[in-house]
């Protein structure tokens, strides 16, 4: 075999996925730029400044000019102007369709498509380099329903095309907004699955323990799910690395706390003056509900909620498994402990419509049988 015959299929697959991801983000960008009532915003108020461009349907995106690590770079030009901008779509990991209070509209919600970027080591962040927003979402003090419908239709189409790369978010502050009811009605019609989650997300936010940071668009997507999973009875938070296994009993952990110091965000699980750990929750990109036969349960199923990252993190069993929450004793002798198992099933039911949530086949099979099933692995 010649050296030229050797190649890395995994590398080929990664390049293909990268190209498909960039192509999708570029198509989203082009669709928005076709609308004359769109503003391009660079930066965010949290970082102290925003630059805005008004393309008015006259923007064009030049063909790719680079290869390798800059293959996702695109140049955006405005007709008749020398000013232009460069956007690295290769560093975008998610498009978030967001409705959140905006200073641009006197505290009323804006309607945006935010291009979230990766950070150090390629880890996903909640920061966006570019946001495309409707320029005139209000008419005579009321929501411009034509504009809102355009926004929701873009969100619906893009969610259908790439649910793994698109999210839809509604800020909790809108519950107290005068625009809340027309917004909710339109969302209910255009995005029924997303609307169905709004009440769940609002409940999760209100149920967050005192002293914990409220869920908002800057927090990791899986934060609400994690907080609920940490409330499991007779379960453990497990961090597994090569030659090291750490377990924290969830009943002894006092929730999740967010600390910001000199711009650095730290997520702490557990009380400061007790056993606790710090995890980079912003690196979590997916959550997997899993049921697997394990020796410690005599070959019966155990139930695990995996928090996964892109790439490897040192877990010899599951390379992308950053940490997990697993039931300690799902059986009492030969009988399943129905209440314990059902709490995992119920958490999955509440979050299964999220694009970043999945379940393996054994878990789905066990979910269909119900927690009173025999718990045996059936091929």
Q: Decide if 298 contacts 304 (C-beta within 8 A).
A: no
For the segment 251-267, the average pLDDT, to the nearest whole number, is: 72
Give Cβ neighbours of residue 236 (< 8 Å, ≥ 6 apart).
Answer: 247, 248, 249, 250, 325, 326, 328
Residue 299 lies in a domain: yes
Within this chain, do residues 251 and 299 fall inside the same structural domain, yes or no? Answer: yes
Within this chain, do residues 266 and 129 fall inside the same structural domain, yes or no? Answer: no
Token pair listed for 290:
């899993």
Within this chain, do residues 228 and 202 fall inside the same structural domain, yes or no? Answer: no
Confidence of residue 45 (pLDDT cuts 50, 70, 90): low
Cβ neighbours around 142 below 10 Å, total:
10
Residue 115 lies in a domain: yes
Q: Answer with the residue of higher pLDDT: 179 or 228.
A: 228
Segment 191-225, tens digit of pLDDT: 876 654 554 344 333 333 333 333 343 578 888 89
Residue 188 lies in a domain: yes
d(CA 59, CA 30): 9
The per-residue pLDDT of the chain, averaged, comes to 78
| pLDDT surpassing 60 at residue 87 | yes
Token pair listed for 345:
């099933």
Within this chain, do residues 199 and 248 fall inside the same structural domain, yes or no? Answer: no
Within this chain, do residues 168 and 227 fall inside the same structural domain, yes or no? Answer: no
Backbone torsion region of residue 80, taken as left when φ is above 0, otherwise alpha when ψ lies between -120 and 50, otherwise beta: left
CATH number at residue 290: 3.40.1570.10
Residue 104 lies in a domain: yes
Within this chain, do residues 322 and 288 fall inside the same structural domain, yes or no? Answer: yes
Which of 164, 180, 206 is where one domain is finished? Answer: 206
Within this chain, do residues 144 and 241 fall inside the same structural domain, yes or no? Answer: no
| pLDDT surpassing 90 at residue 28 | yes
Residue 14: Cβ-neighbour burial (10 angstroms; 0-12, 13-18, 19+):
exposed
Segment 114-167, tens digit of pLDDT: 999 887 667 788 788 889 999 888 888 788 888 989 999 999 999 999 988 998
Looking at residue 363, its pLDDT comes to 92
Which of 157, 181, 206 is where one domain is finished? Answer: 206
Q: CA 220, 357, 359 angle in degrees (round to 5)?
A: 145
Q: How far is the CA of 325 from the CAs of 16, 145, 255, 303, 330, in angstroms?
A: 33, 43, 13, 9, 13
Residue 309 lies in a domain: yes
3-state secondary structure of 358: strand
Residue 375 lies in a domain: no
- Overall domain count for the chain: 2
For the segment 29-41, the average pLDDT, to the nearest whole number, is: 89
Backbone torsion region of residue 121, taken as left when φ is above 0, otherwise alpha when ψ lies between -120 and 50, otherwise beta: left
d(CA 88, CA 13): 21
CATH number at residue 52: 3.40.1570.20
Nearest Cα residue to 97 out of 54, 47, 141, 161: 161
Nearest Cα residue to 291 out of 221, 372, 213, 376: 376
| pLDDT surpassing 60 at residue 63 | yes
d(CA 325, CA 247): 9
Confidence of residue 65 (pLDDT cuts 50, 70, 90): confident
Residue 349 lies in a domain: yes
- DSSP assignment letter at 353: T
Within this chain, do residues 92 and 241 fall inside the same structural domain, yes or no? Answer: no
Residue 374 lies in a domain: no
Nearest Cα residue to 100 out of 179, 22, 2, 163: 179
Within this chain, do residues 229 and 129 fall inside the same structural domain, yes or no? Answer: no
Segment 271-330, tens digit of pLDDT: 766 778 888 888 888 999 999 877 676 667 889 999 998 878 888 888 889 999 999 888
Within this chain, do residues 143 and 11 fall inside the same structural domain, yes or no? Answer: yes
Within this chain, do residues 197 and 267 fall inside the same structural domain, yes or no? Answer: no
Within this chain, do residues 194 and 69 fall inside the same structural domain, yes or no? Answer: yes
Please report which helix (H) or strand (E) contains residue 340, including its range.
helix 338-351
Which of 141, 175, 206 is where one domain is finished? Answer: 206
Which residue range forms the structural domain that includes residue 25? 3-206
Hunting for tokens 């025999």 — which residue is that? 374
Percentage of the chain modeled with pLDDT above 70: 78
Q: Decide if 327 contacts 336 (C-beta within 8 A).
A: no
Please report which helix (H) or strand (E) contains residue 19, including its range.
helix 9-33
């Amino acid at each position: 075999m010649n050296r030229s015959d050797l190649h890395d299929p995994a590398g080929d697959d990664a390049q293909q996925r990268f190209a498909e991801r960039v192509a999708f983000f570029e198509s989203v960008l082009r669709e928005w730029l076709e609308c004359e009532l769109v503003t391009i915003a660079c930066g965010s108020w949290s970082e102290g400044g925003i630059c805005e461009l008004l393309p008015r349907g006259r923007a064009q995106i030049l063909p790719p000019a680079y290869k390798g690590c800059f293959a996702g770079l695109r140049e955006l030009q405005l007709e008749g102007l020398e000013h232009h901008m460069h956007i690295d779509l290769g560093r975008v990991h998610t498009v978030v369709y967001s409705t959140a209070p905006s200073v641009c509209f006197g505290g009323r919600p804006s309607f945006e498509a935010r291009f979230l970027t990766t950070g150090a080591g390629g880890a996903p962040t909640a920061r966006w380099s570019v946001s495309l927003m409707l320029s005139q979402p209000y008419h005579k003090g009321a929501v411009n329903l034509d504009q809102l419908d355009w926004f929701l239709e873009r969100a619906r189409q893009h969610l259908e095309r790439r649910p793994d790369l698109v999210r839809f978010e509604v800020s909790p502050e809108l519950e107290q907004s005068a625009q809340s009811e027309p917004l909710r009605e339109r969302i209910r019609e255009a995005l029924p699955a997303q609307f169905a989650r709004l009440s769940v997300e609002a409940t999760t936010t209100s149920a967050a323990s005192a002293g914990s940071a409220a869920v908002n668009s800057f927090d990791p997507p899986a934060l609400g799910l994690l907080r609920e999973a940490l409330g499991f009875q007779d379960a453990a938070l497990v961090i597994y690395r090569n030659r090291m296994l750490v377990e924290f009993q969830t009943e002894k952990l006092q929730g999740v706390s967010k600390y910001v110091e000199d711009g650095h965000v730290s997520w702490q699980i557990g009380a400061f003056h007790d056993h606790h750990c710090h995890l980079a929750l912003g690196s979590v990109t997916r959550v997997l509900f899993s049921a697997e036969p394990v020796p410690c349960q005599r070959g019966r199923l155990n139930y695990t909620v995996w928090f996964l990252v892109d790439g490897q993190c040192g877990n010899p069993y599951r390379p992308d498994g950053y940490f997990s929450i697993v039931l300690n004793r799902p059986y009492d002798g030969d009988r399943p402990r129905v209440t314990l198992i059902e709490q995992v099933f119920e958490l999955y039911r509440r979050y299964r419509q999220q694009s970043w949530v999945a379940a393996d086949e054994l878990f789905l099979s066990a979910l269909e049988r119900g927690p009173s099933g025999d718990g045996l692995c059936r091929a």
